[in-house]
């Protein structure tokens, strides 16, 4: 059984890690749309068009039985369009606002995500529905996903930039302080140790990756999708640029993924990101 895990880059590996642990008998195809990275500043319509085009190729080519959209920026936008267009089940990831609102002791929580995720009506609705009795700070970080990609590749990162990106997450009000920060981007768990060191006070950092993997396993069971143990195959990785830097290749191979090249007719037709309508949200 093939499970597709999709992100704008290598951040979705935080979800793949959990999914492989819970569903180790299945074959995984990891797809990073590095040619479109970062997704945080794409406008909604252009991103929907782009992703539907990519999934058309991926589904035809790899015949997955389940797809995990391991990207909050995409999931908070595109799940209805994917479910309408394709018949396989999709599982998405969204910021863990409900658990944060339930667990906070101080009543002050922060959603840290890309500007795209922060602005989505879907995210605003989650806050209204589950956290209206809490004080919620929404932080749209413009450079954090890129910092995470650099860090994951073993490159040195700018600590002062990281400190500045997370500074608005920490709020003090009437003697109370933010005590939970929900990681609303799959790239951020890879930076959590560095963020912890730079935090002005300790907080809980909530990562929904494991919950998403559990949800995917529930869907597999519900659909009675069982592993094809007779035909063992390698997990593979595809980067849409076709030419990821050697640091990313090493990372993927080190995780036991075979890098495979794949052409995407929809990208060739649309030309560059700018021609496809990549505009700031
Ligand atoms: N990893 C993605 C997310 O969960 C987005 C990073 C980006 O492309 O800006 O939102």
Count of alpha carbons within 13 angstroms of residue 24, beta-carbon side: 3
Q: Given ligand 1 and candidates 14, 144, 145, which is best to mutate, with the most ligand atoms within 8 Å of its CB?
A: 145
Among 135, 136, 133, CA closest to 123: 136
**Antiparallel, parallel or unpaired: β 135-140 and 27-32:** unpaired
Which residues pair with residue 5 across a beta bridge?
30, 68
Mapping DSSP to helix (H, G, I), strand (E, B) and coil, where does residue 280 land?
coil
Residue 56 has pLDDT above 90, yes or no: yes
Packing angle, helices 209-222 and 13-22, rounded to 10: 50
Q: pLDDT for 82-123, tens place per residue?
A: 999 999 999 999 999 999 999 999 999 999 999 999 999 999
Annotation says 185 is catalytic: yes
Annotation says 169 is catalytic: no
Cα 134 to Cα 97, 99, 121, 176, 213, distances in angstroms: 10, 12, 18, 12, 27
259 Cα: distance to centroid of ligand 1 (angstroms): 21
pLDDT-based confidence at residue 268 (cuts at 50, 70, 90): confident
pLDDT-based confidence at residue 233 (cuts at 50, 70, 90): confident
Q: Where are the alpha helices (H) located in 167-259, listed in sequence order?
A: 192-198, 209-222, 246-254
Q: What is the rounded CA–CA span in Å between residue 209 and residue 232?
A: 26
Tokens of 247: 């640091």
**Which one from 16, 71, 139, 257 is the annotated catalytic residue?**
71
146 Cα: distance to centroid of ligand 1 (angstroms): 9
Q: What is the rounded CA–CA span in Å between residue 39 and residue 18?
A: 22
Q: Give this prediction's pTM.
A: 0.94
Percentage of residues in the chain having pLDDT higher than 90: 89
Question: What average pLDDT does this structure show over 239-268?
Answer: 96
pLDDT of residue 277: 52
- The phi and psi torsions of 214 (rounded to 5 degrees) equal -65, -40
Residue 281 has pLDDT above 70, yes or no: no
**Which one from 29, 69, 144, 185 is the annotated catalytic residue?**
185
For the chain, first and last CA: distance in Å?
37
Q: What is the rounded CA–CA span in Å between residue 119 and residue 138?
A: 9
pLDDT of residue 54: 98
Exposed e or buried b for every residue in 7-21, given b needs 16+ CB within 10 A? bbbbbbbbbbebbbe
Average pLDDT across the chain, whole number:
94
Q: pLDDT for 212-224, tens place per residue?
A: 999 999 999 998 7
Q: Identify each DSSP E strand in the chain by its residue range.
A: 2-7, 27-32, 66-69, 90-92, 108-113, 135-140, 172-173, 176-177, 180-184, 204-206, 236-239, 258-259
Tokens of 43: 């406008």
Q: Given ligand 1 and candidates 13, 16, 38, which is best to mutate, with the most ligand atoms within 8 Å of its CB?
A: 38
Tokens of 49: 């068009």
pLDDT of residue 190: 97
Q: What is the rounded CA–CA span in Å between residue 131 and residue 184?
A: 15
């Amino acid at each position: 059984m093939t499970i597709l895990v999709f992100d704008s880059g290598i951040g979705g590996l935080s979800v793949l890690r959990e999914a492989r642990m819970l569903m180790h008998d299945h074959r995984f195809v990891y797809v990073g749309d590095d040619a479109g990275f970062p997704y945080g500043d794409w406008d909604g319509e252009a991103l929907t068009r782009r992703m539907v085009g990519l999934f058309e190729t991926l589904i035809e080519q790899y015949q997955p039985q389940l797809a995990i959209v391991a990207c909050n920026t995409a999931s908070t936008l595109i799940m209805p369009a994917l479910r309408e267009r394709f018949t396989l089940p999709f599982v998405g990831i969204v910021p863990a606002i409900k658990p944060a609102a339930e667990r906070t002791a101080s009543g002050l929580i922060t959603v840290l995500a890309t500007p795209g995720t922060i602005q989505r009506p879907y995210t605003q609705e989650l806050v209204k529905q589950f956290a209206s009795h809490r004080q919620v700070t929404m932080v749209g970080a413009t450079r954090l996903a890129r910092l995470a990609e650099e860090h994951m590749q073993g490159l040195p990162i700018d600590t002062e930039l990281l400190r500045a990106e997370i500074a608005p997450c920490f709020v003090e009000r009437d003697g109370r302080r933010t005590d939970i920060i929900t990681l609303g981007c799959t790239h951020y768990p890879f930076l959590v140790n560095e963020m912890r060191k730079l935090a002005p006070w300790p907080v809980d950092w909530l990562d929904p990756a494991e919950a998403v993997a559990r949800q995917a396993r529930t869907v597999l069971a519900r659909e009675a999708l069982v592993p094809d143990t007779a035909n063992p195959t390698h997990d593979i990785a595809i980067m849409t640029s076709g030419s990821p830097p050697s640091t990313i290749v090493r990372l993927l191979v080190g995780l036991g993924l075979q890098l495979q090249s794949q052409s995407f007719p929809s990208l060739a037709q649309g030309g560059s990101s700018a021609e496809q309508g990549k505009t700031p949200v």
